[in-house]
Structure 1
Amino acid sequence: MTTARTRREEIYHLAVTTGLASVEELSKHFNVTSSTIRRDLAQLHAEGKLARTYGGALPLGAHPEPSLRQRTGEAYEQKHAIAAWAAGQVRTGESVLLDGGSTVGALAHALRGSEALTITTPGVNTLQELQDAPGVVVNCLGGRFREVSQTFVGPLAEAALERMTFDRVFLGADAVTADDGLCEADHEQTRLKELMARRGEAVYVLADSSKLGKRPFHSWVRLPLPWTLVTDAGASEEQLAPFRAAGVQVELAPAVA
């Protein structure tokens, strides 16, 4: 039987590596009551290891949401491999919606030489990448500016989306799971991504393998099938199996030479 001390050590390990699940999920995982898990979290908080949040906890000292600049330097090769694969799906004359984020920003860079594309985005990095691309018409979803993610969110962006449809929608995410979908740090982000997914004929989620199965935050986007997960070739079958079982199309982007 797992001791309380061992259980708390494992809870702390989950917090700093994959992000904690909910209290209810942790109670099932350890086969203890929700009250026991809450006492564990309270003890870890008292020891200065975790900060309590609604329904769970976060590791103290961890940045709650890395900036876009920080993300851009992470998993660089994997993100550009994913972007190259995604760019290969786009056809001349299409209307494409690009989310914010570093991986989708890499896709915007890969689309600079395209012809007769209309690209709509809430992401400042995509606007910068495509501002002088001669074959691309660029539309910006305006709204409230989130400095940390360098994106526009909120009712104005949502209202603009209601007037558009797209051949392809490419979404980014802080993390993604087969059961709960896309994980984000902000509820307005999840609301906007949910609307984005509804407006596209084909929906792709671009996420490198380090983001699969993780739960760093508590805001989620559930995507209706069909949608395609595009990740790097370093993803393990253990990571991918839940997505395949859920009916998600999985594509592995080969490394860029």
Structure 2
Amino acid sequence: MALRESESRRAEIVRQARSTGLAGVEDLAVQFGVTPSTIRRDLGHLTSRGLIARTYGGAIAIDTTHESSLRQRSVEGFDAKRAIAAWAAQQVQPGETVLVDAGTTVGAMGVHLRDCRDVTVVAAGLTILEALVESPETRIECLGGTLRPLTQGFVGPLAEATLSRLTVDRAFLGADAVDAQYGICEAELIQTRLKEAMMDRAEHVYVLAHAAKLGKRPFHAWAPLPPGTTLVTDASATAELTDPFEAAGVTVVKVPHRESATDRDTAAVVGGSR
């Protein structure tokens, strides 16, 4: 009986989050007549299943059949992204040339890369450029090309031509989703073609994706993961989500993070309507 009540409550939480875009822990606890800790466990369970995504400073409903904007993505899994970005930046060694993709998680590396000495950053989007533009210790190269407003990243023939003249020690890539069988998922083929070129020009490849992006297939454009790729995700990623990647020869790093009270107490639906 308790299991049935728990399943019913969680289903209703998802339904409400889909319709309103926001579910507060205290309000839900009163509504269902349970403790806030029970609701937090519900939210943790639903997050691990990819049914909701916790946010920082609020919540947003995400439609997985349409590409969300950079602003919308910036509030998804804030603390997880911040921890992933910090870990990724720590891998950069003095004297290296690294490529940083467009996106919110990889863009969050900027604040940490400011402290790196004798590093060249090849920027694939505006976010990392803005973060490093006033960093005197960083040499910046820009891919150029066509700017995609939704992602604020550069794509197209000019970006690909620039990549063909470069090699990098490390490439840090973002993704709309990541699947162990198919690789990196993006909204358009022009994006996955560029990501394949990025991976081809790098000695070490890292894909930065928090747990809510693992095992999802929201679009139909794919970039296969080369052998030796490292998937960097957060500690909430379950073995069910990460085991397929390890079986495919991908190294999985789970970065722990401490959630803020706001991030812990709000939720947004993955697959809900805008």
State the TM-score, normalizing by the size of structure 1.
0.75
Determine the structure 2 residue equivalent to 1:213: 215
Distance in 1 between residues matched to 2:91 and 2:258, nearest whole Å: 16
1:67-125: CA deviation from partner (whole Å, max 9, x where unpaired): 11111111000000101111111111100000000000001222112111100012101
Match of 1:131 in 2: 133
Higher relative contact order (CA 8 A, sep 6+): 2
Q: Aligned partners of 1:163, 1:93: CA distance in 2, in Å?
A: 19
8 Å CA contact 1:93–1:116 kept in 2: the answer is yes
Q: Distance in 2 between matches of 1:157 and 1:89?
A: 25
Counterpart in the other structure of 1:188 = 190
1:72 aligns with 2:81: no
The answer as to 2:179 corresponding to 1:166 is: no
Partner residue, 2:148: 146
**Cα distance in 1, alignment partners of residues 65 and 129 from structure 2:** 26
The aligned residue for residue 121 of structure 1 is 123
Distance 1:256 1:168, change over 3 A: farther
- How big is each residue's C-alpha offset from its partner over 1:233-252, in whole Å with a ceiling of 9 and x where there is no partner? 01000001100111100111
Match of 1:230 in 2: 232
Could you say what secondary structure the match of 1:92 adopts? coil
Percent identity reads 53
Distance in 2 separating the partners of 1:80 and 1:108:
11
Extract unaligned runs of 5+ from structure 1.
Answer: 1-12, 17-60
Task: Name the structure 2 match of 1:109.
Answer: 111
Note the alpha carbon deviations across 1:164-203, whole angstroms, 9 max, x for none: 0011000000000100000000111111000000001100
Q: Give 1:203's aligned residue.
A: 205
Separation in 2 of the partners of 1:243 and 1:142?
A: 32
Distance (Å, rounded) in 1 between the aligned partners of 2:258 and 2:122: 26
What is the RMSD of the two structures over their aligned residues, measured on CA atoms?
A: 1.6
Amino acid at match of 2:168: F
Q: Distance in 2 between matches of 1:188 and 1:165?
A: 20
